[in-house]
Each structure stands twice: as C-alpha cells, then as structure tokens.
Structure 1
Amino acid sequence: MRTLHVADLLRTALDGEPVGGRAVLVDGDRIAAVGPVDELVGGYPGVRVRRWAGTLGPALVHDGPLPSAPSPREQVYALFRLGAAAALAAEVTDPAVRAAAGRNGLALLDRPGAPELRVAGRADLAVFDTDGRCLATVVAGRLVHRRA
C-alpha cells in the first residue's frame, strides 16, 4: 500500500536545509517519490496520507551502545523511539538482540553512513519536533513508533 508522508518541513539529508510543501511517497518498503505535496497527492489519487507536525527526514543511524532495556525487543524499540532505523553491527553483538533487530527491520550496518531520502532507497523515515524529540519512526515503510 502506498503512503504519502507529509510534514511541516522536509529534509532529504540530515544536514540538509528543511523546506516546506514537500512529501515522501512510500510504496512497500521503498521510497517511490519525493516531491511537492500537491503533485504527489494529484498523481496518486486515493493514496493514504499521514500528516505529521514537525520535520520529516531520514531516520537516524545509532552509532553507540544500545539503550538498556529488559528484553532484546525493547532494546530495538528504544532505538525506534529515538528515530533510528539502523545501528552499527559492531554494537549489536548479543545474538538475541540481533534476532530482534532482524525481526523488527532494524538495519545493522558495517560502518556509519549519512542517511538520506532517495527514490528507490529503503523507506526509513523519522519525524522530529522543534525540541529534537522523535515523534514518529518508519522502518522499511512500516510505522514502528508514534509519540502519542
């Protein structure tokens, strides 16, 4: 199912300048388009639209030790609550946590990279408020965290 993610502002790279009036179209686990909201809504009639307050951009890559939590699943979800959709493989050595990461779509990377939103790329998105708190995280096209 296609979903159009629209926020007050959009940045395609973490260090990019946020701009208004743009959105990200997700189809399955991939980004299908990034462009003006009106064009995407008009080009995809009936698309599900998720509107977010804040700045939408690429999800983060967590580059340190995982947060402490009672279970491997909760460790993975702690990252989702921070806006991360990936972690460094060297920091995820516990087999149970690696299994939980795999089940929940957390990407394990060999080296840090600069995440960006690009067509045909994996749909890993995050929305942050003006204070830097994560409001929502999308991992491989699936909404895994939403702050109430």
Structure 2
Amino acid sequence: MLTIHAAALLLPGGGRAPVPGGAVAVRDAVVAAFGPYEELAAAHPAARVRRWPGVLTPGLVQRDAVRLLREWYFPDPREAGALGTEPLTGAALDTLGPEDTWRAGSVRRGLHRMLRHGTTALTAAPTAPPALLTAARRSGLTVLGPPVPSSLPVPPSPSTGGEPVIDPLAGAGSVADAMAAPLTAGGRADLAAFDAPDEAALLAAGAGSCVATIAAGRLVYRGR
C-alpha cells in the first residue's frame, strides 16, 4: 500500500529547496516519490494520506547514541516518583544497584526517547557493544559506522566531546546537518515530522518538537 505523508513544509535535503505544501509518497519501506502534495495526490489518487503539522524532513542521525545508552539511565515511568522523568548520569547511577539488572530496560527506553526526537539512524564505532547495536536495529534504527558511505554524510558530533546530547539538532547550523540522508526516490523511507512552522523555528525548538517518526516506512513514534 502506498502512503503519502504531507506537511506544510518539506525539507528534502541534498541541497534541494524547501517545498511548501510538500509530501513524500512511501511504498512499503522505500520512498516512491516526493514533491508538492498536489502532484503526488494526482499521481496516486488511491493512496492513504497522513497529514502532519509543520515541517517534514528525512530522519535524523544520532551521533551520541552509544554514549547515551551506556552513560545514561532512562527511568521507567513507574519510577518517576522516586527518580523523576529525566535521565540519570554520573554518580546518580550508583544508586541503581548492579548494572546488569537495569541496563536492558534503560537501553530500550533510551532508544524510544531517540525515536521521539526524529532519530532514524545512529553512528557507532566498530568497538560499540554488539548488544546495543542489536537493540537499535530491532527498534527500527539504521546503524551507521566508519567508513561512512558517501550517500550518508555525517558531520562532526554536536556534543564536541562534552556531555552527550539526545537532540540531534542541538548545535546544528541547519536541519540538513542532522539528516541521516537526503530524500531519494528508491531510498529507505525514513522521515520525521515536527510541530514547527519553518526551519528556523525548528532549529530553535529542537527535535523535541517531533510529532512523528517513520523508519523504513513504519510509523515507530507518534506524539499526537
């Protein structure tokens, strides 16, 4: 089945101009076409249509993923009363008990938190723990690592060696800097929709404004 994802503004990446009233047609796990919504709707009148507010972009890449999953604890919602809702780091991890009793659940919740920020890919060195990479792939994320394919440009990490950040847009000069790959007909259908009116507003609001994440054509996060 073909699905058209439409928004007020499409940022296709790859140096292409933004498309007001843009859309992406997705068939199974790949991008069938993208451009103005009217053109896609006319070409595919039987397609299911999903409309998202604000800005639609390719999925984002998380370059701090391994550090986030190893150095942070993402609390279970049932622990909010005792631990709060924000991730725990540093010495606070010592209060959690043996690592093997909480690591798996934290990783699962951390990956979901990344999906809530429009992330569809992460970068990892060959030395990254295999269990983390397996969990990431099971969540629908693509794992990128050196050497990076030329079709998937990966600029320097926004964390610049400091604390890891979960927002792929933090420190980015443009949304394109945080894209895992520009849209390509026939490419994997990784998309993110954000409740922001334009690129400047999206950069100011950050990826926490994500309302939907699509990985390989599958809706893996929906905020509304």
Q: Same fold by TM-score, threshold 0.5 exceeded?
A: yes
Gaps of at least 5 residues in structure 2 are 75-104, 155-178, 197-204
**2:187 equivalent to 1:128:** no
**2:118 equivalent to 1:83:** yes
Distance of 1:142 and 1:37 partners within structure 2: 20
User: Which residue in 1 is equivalent to 2:6?
Assistant: 6
Relative to total residues, which structure has the larger strand share, 1 or 2?
1
The answer to whether the 8 A contact 2:19-2:36 is kept is: no
Which digits, 9 at most, give the CA deviation of each residue in 1:26-48, with x for residues without a partner?
01110000122112112112211
**2:94 equivalent to 1:94:** no
Could you say what the CA RMSD is over the residues aligned between the two structures, in angstroms?
2.1
Distance of 1:14 and 1:129 partners within structure 2: 22
The answer to whether the 8 A contact 2:118-2:210 is kept is: yes
- Judged with a 3 Å threshold, the aligned counterparts in structure 2 of structure 1 residues 91 and 79 are, in CA distance, closer, same or farther, namely farther
- Judged with a 3 Å threshold, the aligned counterparts in structure 2 of structure 1 residues 39 and 92 are, in CA distance, closer, same or farther, namely farther
- Judged with a 3 Å threshold, the aligned counterparts in structure 2 of structure 1 residues 126 and 40 are, in CA distance, closer, same or farther, namely same
Relative to total residues, which structure has the larger helix share, 1 or 2?
2
The DSSP-based 3-state class of the residue aligned with 2:135 is: helix
The percent of aligned pairs where both chains have the same amino acid is 44
Gaps of at least 5 residues in structure 1 are none
Match of 1:66 among 45, 65, 68: 68
User: Which residue in 1 is equivalent to 2:89?
Assistant: none
TM-superposed CA distance for 1:136, in Å, is 0.9
**2:210 equivalent to 1:147:** no
The DSSP-based 3-state class of the residue aligned with 1:119 is: coil
Q: Name the amino acid aligned to 1:146.
A: R
Aligned length: 148
User: Which residue in 2 is equivalent to 1:103?
Assistant: 138
User: Which residue in 2 is equivalent to 1:38?
Assistant: 38
The answer to whether the 8 A contact 1:87-1:106 is kept is: yes
Find the structure with the greater CA-based Rg: 2
Which digits, 9 at most, give the CA deviation of each residue in 1:14-60, with x for residues without a partner?
87653312210001110000122112112112211000001001111
- Judged with a 3 Å threshold, the aligned counterparts in structure 2 of structure 1 residues 73 and 92 are, in CA distance, closer, same or farther, namely farther
The DSSP-based 3-state class of the residue aligned with 1:123 is: coil
TM-superposed CA distance for 1:4, in Å, is 0.2
The answer to whether the 8 A contact 1:5-1:50 is kept is: yes
Distance of 1:138 and 1:25 partners within structure 2: 12
- Report the TM-score when normalising by structure 1: 0.88
TM-superposed CA distance for 1:72, in Å, is 2.5
The DSSP-based 3-state class of the residue aligned with 1:40 is: helix
- Judged with a 3 Å threshold, the aligned counterparts in structure 2 of structure 1 residues 16 and 94 are, in CA distance, closer, same or farther, namely same
